[in-house]
Structure 1
Amino acid sequence: MNKMAIRVPFVDLRLQHEPIQAQLQNAIQSVLDRGDFILGQALSDFEAAFAAVSGAKYGVGVASGTDAIALGLQACNIGVGDEVILPANTFVATLIGVLRTGAKPILVDCNRQALIDLKAAAKAITPHTKAIIPVHLYGQMVSPQNLFDFADTYKLLIFEDAAQAHLAQRDGYHAGSVGIAAAFSFYPSKNLGAFGDGGMLLTQNSDVAQKMARLRNYGASQKYFHTEPGTNSRLDTLQAAILHQKLPYLPQWNRDRLTIAEEYDRELAPLATFGIIPLENQSDTGHVYHLYVIRVDDSCPIERQQLQEELIVAGIQTGIHYPIPCHLQPAFTYLGYQPGDFPQAEKLSKQILSLPMYPGLSSSQIKEVVAAIANAVSKDSELDKSYSVNLSR
């Protein structure tokens, strides 16, 4: 299918950028005028601003979300001989970040909302376990209160993977304010996205922040004075300037996402009979819906792949986040995990489907997406006919 045939794209960043194009261009021009492209003023300003709105004291910008995890764990003194618990159903960057420290990743299963199963995590504790990484997946946080209880019981560090949870809230806490540190990604399609790769570590701990600042800059505490082996991983000043201009709009963009999700919930409700089940929002207005994810349950008349194909024919793009859990990825078979080790993560990986979700997605587009799903799963039924009638009005 050619690009012109797409009626509802999975993401449309133009809707976000066009209204503030002049501001973005001015921000870029300001950096060009100053010429401070590396560790410049716009980076310092954005680090402070993003930390403040996220309830953290310190922000350290890096080149990617993956580096925010890997270097952030190192800044928290995670390394060889340590074990780190993380969910099997996450993007591989979480796992790669642990591996880069030399620590041993310990994968565990998830619950039905795709968040880490803390009961499973408790069974994975050993004398070498030092930290747990709750992944705030799809824009919904793992419960901070449950994490506090868990970490206190087992004397563990909490290191948040908040790559999909910019300004998410739960139990009165923002993502990024719960653990000793938190990693964020500014990949372009994130709720707060750059014009390329970028990431940040947030922390309440000044020692962690200072070590992170050294690690991202060749391990240097000052120019040409290197106290530890670091790397080159700095958030570009240009990207920071762009992100800082977008930051004031993020709360409204997140509210728009919540409104869209609520409309999806209402429109999809009749399709529960056909095995189309949205993942549950357990965070009320604190869910920021980086992704809107449904399950194509075993009771559905068609399989997920067929549904996705029929939606493409209807001009609707979808995604799968993620189709293969970390423990079944070919690159990580050496870790020793087998199919069946994490049944909930494996089941979800075969059922989940991400629908179009972005600020500016219209009510008519939402109805078009849902009608296409209804048509695919309930052909020739009265429900499908009712959707067709409603759309024609």
Structure 2
Amino acid sequence: MSGKRVLLIVGGGVAAFKALELARLLRKRGVAVRPLLTRAGSQFVTPLSLSALCEDKVYQDLFSLIDEAGMGHIELSRSADLLVVVPATADLMAKAAAGLADDLASTTLLATDKPVLMAPAMNVRMWTHPATLRNLARLKADGVRFVGPTEGAMACGEFGEGRLAEPEAIVDAVVDLLGQGASPQPRPLEGRRVLVTAGPTREAIDPVRYLTNQSSGKQGYAIAGALARIGAEVTLVSGPTALAAPLGVRRVDVLSARDMQAACEAALPVDAAVLVAAVADWRPEHVAERKLKKAQGGAPEPIRLVETPDILAGLSAPSPRRPRLVVGFAAETQDVEANACAKLERKGCDWLLANDVSTPGVFGGEDNTVLLVTRQGVEAWPPGSKSAIAEHLAARIAEALA
């Protein structure tokens, strides 16, 4: 990213403080960051802190005698490779959608001929208001790209969609867009809808304990991002992870296998489903209402387990809403090929990717080695990064759906 330039427009909102971390991370990647601070944004972050982290002057005033002597807003709007708005408030989105230009930020957005990335942040009711949804649709039609918002607790005390995407996710989106500017990527999945599941599930034992596994979600998130980059409209149904949603991916957060099953069914119809999640096979038959206490000098009460929903078999079963292509995953510790072939037949999916999770570094690591099992045979893919495997799989899915 060395030599790339970003104009960072900081809007007014509690989430503005994350723009400081974003600037630090971008500078760490070698991206030059020029900051533009709105009047509302200056109520949450100071020009001094923003300037120090961006290592550049902060621009604020449309009518600055010094900056505007040389048509500063025009130079700002065109000197960067990408304009990034963090946080993109409802007000900034409305101004940009309507083509208003009454301050430096809105004037710069109107005057630019460069790509624009917005990271929205606002109260959930503001985000779901018809006016905001109209503005969102208008901006997307105008070519503006978005990262987030995500779902979670907000500073106002409410819970829902409207939280600013984490700085790491915004960095990933910036890097993706700057890379696309250098070499536009084909989008063979344009207009296709794809469902991806990722991460573990948690099956509650009592209010504080649960059954789960070591899945990090990295492979599933990489696949979701790779599919989105070649044009797919991706819904990512994710169990608990520490990862940020890839650019252009709609994430639905779930906890249990039953939650994941419901979210997958709600995402239908789709052209393809890629079920990467490590879904727990069993759950406690009964969940204790209170924390189970350790018995004094005795053995714990046995926990009766029952099977969780078989999401892969359910989506693979013949039905009017069955995806055209269903891809499953198999995490094995022995007899990988034999177990994967048996699972393909048992589940009824079209393809199955299998890996040996007993190999050190697969869980939580960056690399993977997989077998692609189909009814035509078994392919051993060369070892590689999870990102490389994701790109390879996305390309194969595009071929299958063509």
Q: State TM-score, norm by structure 1.
A: 0.28
Q: State TM-score, norm by structure 2.
A: 0.28
Q: Which has the larger radius of gyration?
A: 2
Q: Looking at secondary structure, tell me which structure has more helix per residue.
A: 1
Q: Looking at secondary structure, tell me which structure has more strand per residue.
A: 2
